[in-house]
């Protein structure tokens, strides 16, 4: 094969990979099971992001003259209060998850300590 043919084949293969990669990646993501954590936490984050977008839209509407300053201020305060509440709920969920993890780690440490004191089950069978 000549050099131009090899370069052409490599470029075609590269193009195919670049086109198919996002499709294959999406398919692989759908087949991957989600991590074992509260879906509510993700939902809170998505809702908070939605409120942030609403705030941006609200500011745009005010800047182009669709809203009066008073309406903008009232709606903005309501959306900020929503965002703050969602953040508070996310932090509470995070704290609860951390506490649960700490309890599980403590239980595992206790079991390991118990096994170390009494010897491993494998030692008794030898």
**pLDDT per residue over 28-58, tens digit each?**
555 444 434 445 567 888 999 999 999 999 9
Which long-range contacts link 42-50 to residues 24+ away (Cβ below 8 Å)?
44/86, 44/89, 44/90, 44/93, 45/90, 47/86, 48/83, 48/86, 48/87, 48/90
The predicted structure's pLDDT at residue 124: 47
Which pLDDT does position 65 carry in this prediction? 93
Q: What is the mean pLDDT of the chain?
A: 81
Kindly give the parts of the chain with pLDDT less than 50. Answer: 31-38, 123-126
**What pLDDT does residue 16 have?**
76
Query: What are the boundaries of each domain within the chain?
Result: 39-117
**What's the confidence (pLDDT) of residue 125?**
46
Q: How high is the pLDDT of residue 30?
A: 54
Residue 81: its pLDDT value, please?
94
């Amino acid at each position: 094969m000549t050099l131009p043919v090899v370069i052409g084949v490599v470029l075609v293969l590269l193009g195919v990979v670049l086109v198919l990669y996002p499709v294959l990646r999406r398919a692989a993501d759908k087949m991957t099971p989600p991590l074992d954590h509260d879906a509510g936490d993700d939902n809170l984050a998505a809702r908070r992001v939605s409120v942030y977008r609403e705030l941006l839209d609200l500011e745009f509407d005010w800047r182009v003259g669709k809203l009066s300053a008073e309406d903008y201020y009232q709606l903005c305060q309501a959306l900020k209060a929503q965002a703050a509440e969602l953040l508070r709920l996310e932090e509470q969920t995070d704290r609860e998850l951390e506490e649960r993890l700490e309890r599980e780690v403590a239980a595992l440490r206790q079991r390991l300590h118990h096994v170390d004191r009494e010897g491993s089950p494998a030692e008794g069978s030898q």
